[in-house]
Structure 1
Amino acid sequence: MFTGIVQTQATVAQLHDRDNFRQLTVEVSPEHLHNVALGASIAINGCCLTVVAFTETTVNFDIIDETLRLTNLGGLAVGDKVNFERSLKVGDEMGGHYVSGHIHCTGAIVKRERSTDNLALWIEFPEQFKPYVLAKGFISVNGASLTVGQVESNRFSLHLIPETLRLTNLEHADTVNLEFDQQTMTIVETVERVLNQRAAAAD
């Protein structure tokens, strides 16, 4: 479980690819790996990955076919920056919203609108997820807990403050991992199921 508060950006140091499988090594400042352990969960671009090896400044992950299919991790290259968040611990402050690290799909950044102190992004996503994207609702974008701005069909906007731009890789991203708010999904699907049951009973 994660908060969606990205702690830093890590750098892709090594990639080793096999058939439908990728080994990823990222480099990060030592303070972000304090007390890390084998088997620990770390969110990379919002995707929950398991630590399989580490040093003082690097951490290794194995990425399997389903993760490569659903996320932007298969498109990473050495030198790329990725958003990095250690898993939530008991007693940690909840600054964002509960994020599972299970990515639903990717979205494409189709428009950027810059002003003096902030950046607005427009992101296009697959049509089937439209019921879960609501204005002022929560969404995780490359692991960052953000508030949806406007929604137009299968596009939504985000308004990013300088601190978010400093801590994350969203300013220069093209394809982003999306995790929709689980509570919103549960409510929408429950309401739809009840309405369908009532409609079936009335026939």
Structure 2
Amino acid sequence: MFTGIVQAVATVAAVTDQPGLRTFTLSFPPGFLEGQTVGASVACDGVCLTATRHQGADRAEFDVMQQSLALTTLGSFCVGDHINVERAARDGVEIGGHPISGHVDFQARVGEVRNPANNHVLRIDVPAPWMRYVFPKGYIAVNGASLTVAEAGRQPDGSGWFEVWLIPETLRQTTFGDKGAGAALNVEIERGTQVMVDTVRATLEERLGPLLPALEALLRERGIGVEALTGGQVGTRTDSHAALLPTSAAAEAR
């Protein structure tokens, strides 16, 4: 498990293709790998990878299967690219973000970048059906960073978008400052939100049967998803920082 607090930015030092998998050699900042053993997990742009070999104090190799290469942005990585990284959480560690599994659900694209004073805003396009799990003030993991959704919008076809606001410190600690319009991002839905939404949908399907598609169509005409029947409170942050959105530190990765 990971906390969603990006600890460093690593650099792709080498890429080696083998039958059925690709091996990445990553170069880390000094001290990042201290105490780590072969077999330990590292979140690389949100993808949980296992260290298979160490090269000195600050380099490690990771094997990535074809399915992961196809599902995530790792398949497009080249030598010199930069990656958000976080070591696996330990007992007793502060969880400043939210629990993240490192199992990416889908790739999203940056639709728009804005730069208001001392802030950096990313609008991220979300394909259907994943938008049903995205709510304002809710948790979401993007390239391994725990973020708070500042705003969200839905389209009639089930797709949509959400925005995150990033402060200068977040840009310094992560790769988000390099992401322009069209850039691909790894997204992991917050699992509690997913379970709640799917439970509501399953209950409605059980109760309404063939009437559920008609209800969904009616709600889509009004730009509403079935998940709105939960009251909009699924997976939302209720701490005092969230109330300061969109300019507070709660709206970005640490």
% same residue? 39
Aligned residues: 202
Q: Which residue of 1 aligns with 2:137?
A: 136
The one-letter amino acid paired with 1:78 is: V
Q: How far is 1:20 from its partner?
A: 4.7
Greater Rg over alpha carbons, structure:
2
2:185 is paired with a residue of what secondary structure? Answer: strand
Alignment of 1:149-168 (within 5 A): 149-153=150-154, 154-168=160-174
Q: Work out whether residues 10 and 83 of structure 1, in 8 Å CA contact, stay in contact via their aligned partners in 2.
A: yes
Tell me the distance in 2 between the aligned counterparts of 1:91 and 1:104: 28
Structure 2 unaligned residues grouped into runs of 5+: 155-159, 212-254
Tell me the distance in 1 between the aligned counterparts of 2:73 and 2:149: 21
2:86 is paired with a residue of what secondary structure? Answer: strand
Q: How far is 1:33 from its partner?
A: 0.3
Tell me the distance in 2 between the aligned counterparts of 1:65 and 1:162: 35
CA RMSD, aligned part only?
1.4
**Larger fraction in strand:** 1
Tell me the distance in 2 between the aligned counterparts of 1:135 and 1:100: 22
Which of 194, 198, 203 lines up with 1:189 in the alignment?
Answer: 198
Q: Work out whether residues 138 and 181 of structure 1, in 8 Å CA contact, stay in contact via their aligned partners in 2.
A: yes
Tell me the distance in 2 between the aligned counterparts of 1:37 and 1:19: 25
Tell me the distance in 2 between the aligned counterparts of 1:17 and 1:198: 51
Aligned pair 1:125/2:120, yes or no? Answer: no
TM-score, normalised on structure 1? 0.96
Q: Work out whether residues 82 and 169 of structure 1, in 8 Å CA contact, stay in contact via their aligned partners in 2.
A: yes
Tell me the distance in 1 between the aligned counterparts of 2:21 and 2:187: 21
TM-score, normalised on structure 2? 0.77
Q: Work out whether residues 73 and 107 of structure 2, in 8 Å CA contact, stay in contact via their aligned partners in 1.
A: yes
2:195 is paired with a residue of what secondary structure? Answer: helix
Please list the CA deviations of residues 144-191 of structure 1 after superposition, one character each: whole Å capped at 9, or x if unmatched: 000011112211111001111111101112111000100000000011
The one-letter amino acid paired with 1:108 is: R
Please list the CA deviations of residues 43-89 of structure 1 after superposition, one character each: whole Å capped at 9, or x if unmatched: 00010000100131101100001111110001111111100100000
Structure 1 unaligned residues grouped into runs of 5+: none
Please list the CA deviations of residues 6-46 of structure 1 after superposition, one character each: whole Å capped at 9, or x if unmatched: 00100110001245521101101231101111110100001
The one-letter amino acid paired with 1:49 is: L
2:129 is paired with a residue of what secondary structure? Answer: helix
1:30 is paired with a residue of what secondary structure? Answer: coil
